[in-house]
Chains A and B, each alone.
Chain A
Amino acid sequence: MAVQGINFEVLEGEAFGFLGPNGAGKTTTMRMIQCVSPKTSGSLKVFGMDVDTNPREIKQLIGVVPQENNLDLDFTTNENLIRYATYFDIPQHEAIERAEELLKFMQLTEKSNVPIDKLSGGMKRRLILARALINNPRLLILDEPTTGLDPQARHLIWEKLRGLLVVGNTIVLTTHYMDEAAQLCDRIVVMDQGKILVTGKPDQLVREYTGNHIVEAEKNEDVISCLDKYSIPYDITGKKVQIFTQDPKEITRMLLDECAIGHVSARQTTLEDVFLKLTGRTLRD
């Protein structure tokens, strides 16, 4: 079983992120929302409709960016969009207009008549996003939308997604990139092994689980015995000792003065620290 007993609610107009290591069940959850993967029990509603009884109506209202590119290699960029539009029963003339608009929106106009295998990775991803928008969806489902892209392409996609949120679209996405989640998502869940570990706003989760700041020192016996002496909780990761705290000044001062440690660094914690704290550092695949 890929996911078990998960419970979440996405509000209209928000960006909702699913974070988790590989195999956490993110993609399965996406596929259940888009009425492709079946669920063994429980209830799942999209726009108030049941995924089991109204898949067609639901699919008419959503746009999907799958994890793996599945553009139609037998057709050109423009043909891909127009053909996809026919699957939604969009009339031909409207499809042509819409394809032109979307190619412009995703800055692909000059690639209009190019076969898919001549596009770069970033262009393919942009085209997939354009394709997901062909039916004017109310909900966008993005499964790792920017994995493998260069920073320019990622930022362009983020910018477009923010634009879509401004005009009232709802976005559900999965990602491995914590900065992507922090940049885009109003709320996130962290999943692992088919279960949801936490739900909340990114900054709120950072505060709650890592206390906003992290102080790092080199791992050695002196540091550890010193921390133990003052009973300060810490984590050991590789060659470092990490102390999550609300008061980095005090901890740093103490480490330098009381424990006589030479090298200490302090920084703000990020979602990545929350993620690693919750899901551990073991490789998943």
Chain B
Amino acid sequence: MVNLRSSKISYRIWKVWRRNLDTFMKTWKVNFIPPFLEPVLYLLALGLGVGSFITQVDGVSYARFIGPALIAIAVMNASFFECTYSSYVRMYYQKTFDAMIATPLSIEEVIAGELLWGATRGLIYATIMLPVLIIFGLIDLPISILALPISFLAGVMFACIGMCFTAITPGIDALSYPSFLFITPMFLFSGTFFPLTLLPPTLQYLALIFLPLTHVVRPIRALTLNHLDNSILISIGWVLIVTTALFYLSLRLMKKRLIV
């Protein structure tokens, strides 16, 4: 059973986090390009291109509608892929985790540090995208700044989801399955590029239950468009509960994988 007494998880998780941050900063130029370029490309193609056929979605322009979804998607991709492919490489090929647990660091700290870093990467991406959306004049200020803490929380959730797959995957190639069977549908059907209400009710419910991204897009969109209602709290509550459960699950699965 995963034990979260202070003796198992301590300030040492920041050492693991710091290791990954330092690696990230070694190649910061190439790492900062995607979150900057991605929203620009999507907004040009979908906002200007596709958007020219659409007068309004839910009372706003199409570009304003997809802007917040682009943040949510970027966070999902950054955190999920960091804790799948990148964590897998560190765990299996580079044996970084083995080296760390030979020191006073515990396995729980190594995994929690990885998750924290995965979430941070999502937050970094959201932080870079926000000014781009501001320049395009697509989001309301200052309320949109609150999208950042939500992005971090979402980052923890997607990092935990990724880590669960990393813990059970038989090899690095098999990580493609969750990528295209889970992440791609989520990218398309979470109220990202069209309102969920256009789907048949059954599919709407399925999306709300099984696609975590819907609960990230909703609050971020509500904030950037300054359309606040109770659904924000419901979604944040949903994310909190699911994240807590997945955090324990990912620690447990990784312990099972690593302790032999």
A residues sitting closer than 8 Å to B (CB atoms) are 34, 36-38, 55-56, 59-60, 64, 66, 68-75, 83-84, 86-89, 135
Q: Decide: A66 and B104 in contact? CB cutoff 8 A.
A: no
Contacts of A87 in B (CB 8 A): 12, 15, 100, 103-105
B residues sitting closer than 8 Å to A (CB atoms) are 7, 12, 15, 18-19, 22-23, 26, 94-96, 98-106, 259-260
Closest to B26 in A: A74
Q: Decide: A70 and B7 in contact? CB cutoff 8 A.
A: no
Q: Decide: A73 and B94 in contact? CB cutoff 8 A.
A: yes
Contacts of A88 in B (CB 8 A): 103-104
Q: Decide: A56 and B15 in contact? CB cutoff 8 A.
A: no
The secondary-structure label for the interface of chain A is loop
**In the bound complex, what is the Cα–Cα distance between A87 and B105 (angstroms)?**
7
Closest to B23 in A: A74
Q: Decide: A34 and B102 in contact? CB cutoff 8 A.
A: yes
* Further pairs besides A68-B95, A70-B95: 11, Cβ < 8 Å: A36-B101, A37-B260, A38-B259, A56-B104, A59-B103, A60-B104, A64-B102, A66-B99, A72-B19, A72-B96, A84-B103
Closest 6 CB pairs of A and B: A70-B95, A87-B103, A64-B102, A70-B99, A74-B23, A56-B104
Contacts of B104 in A (CB 8 A): 56, 59-60, 87-89
- Interchain residue pairs with CB less than 8 A apart (17): A36-B102, A36-B259, A37-B259, A55-B106, A56-B104, A56-B106, A64-B102, A66-B98, A69-B95, A70-B96, A70-B98, A72-B19, A72-B96, A75-B22, A84-B99, A87-B15, A87-B104
Out of A68, A69, A73, A86, which one reaches B15, CB within 8 Å? A86
Looking at B7, B15, B22, B99, which has the most chain A CB atoms within 10 Å of its CB? B99
Contacts of A74 in B (CB 8 A): 23, 26, 94
